[in-house]
């Protein structure tokens, strides 16, 4: 880092900052009237810190990935995929599954979707699915 560089936060400006096309922080800027891009984005951060809240632009920068089902924002795709598993599980659970009223083919399909064995009589399949449903929630 150059010795003439100063922090953005209330520090004295180095001597070259009073030249045209140089921001108060020591970085080059494209327009004489504006600050450099770093200082402009720093203004948003300082505003957020002083108001103890996030502006929409900062929130979008920190959490750019959005869930299409509920519009919740996430920092990365891994967090989104974890959330989607929860969203989808909640949707499945919201429909009451009653294994005793299900047919054998639908019992087997429900067990298969959970990665469980589909062997046995209807009684065994019902108990297996009831156990899986109890473990889910």
Which one is predicted more confidently, 71 or 115? 115
Residue 74 forms beta bridges with which residues? 65
pLDDT at 118: 92
Tokens found for residue 61: 């920068």
Choose between 129 and 13: higher pLDDT: 129
Note whether 22 and 16 are within 8 A (CB).
Answer: yes
DSSP-assigned letter for residue 26: S
pTM: 0.35
Please give the mean pLDDT across all residues of the chain: 73
Render pLDDT for 36-56 as a digit per residue (tens, 0 to 9): 666 666 667 777 777 887 777
Share of the chain above pLDDT 90, in %: 12
* Alpha carbons 18 and 63: distance in angstroms, whole number: 37
């Amino acid at each position: 880092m150059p010795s003439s560089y100063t922090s953005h936060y209330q520090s004295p400006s180095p001597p070259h900052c009073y030249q045209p096309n140089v921001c108060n922080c020591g970085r080059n800027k494209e327009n004489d009237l504006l600050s450099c891009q770093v200082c402009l984005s720093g203004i948003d951060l300082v505003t957020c810190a002083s108001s103890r809240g996030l502006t929409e632009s900062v929130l979008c920068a920190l959490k750019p990935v959005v869930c299409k089902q509920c519009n919740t924002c996430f920092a990365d795709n891994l967090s989104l995929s974890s959330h989607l598993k929860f969203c989808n599980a909640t949707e499945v659970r919201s429909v009451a599954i009653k294994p005793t009223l299900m047919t054998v083919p639908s019992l087997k399909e429900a067990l298969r979707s959970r990665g469980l064995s589909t062997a046995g009589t209807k009684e065994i399949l019902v108990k297996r699915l009831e156990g899986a449903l109890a473990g889910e929630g």
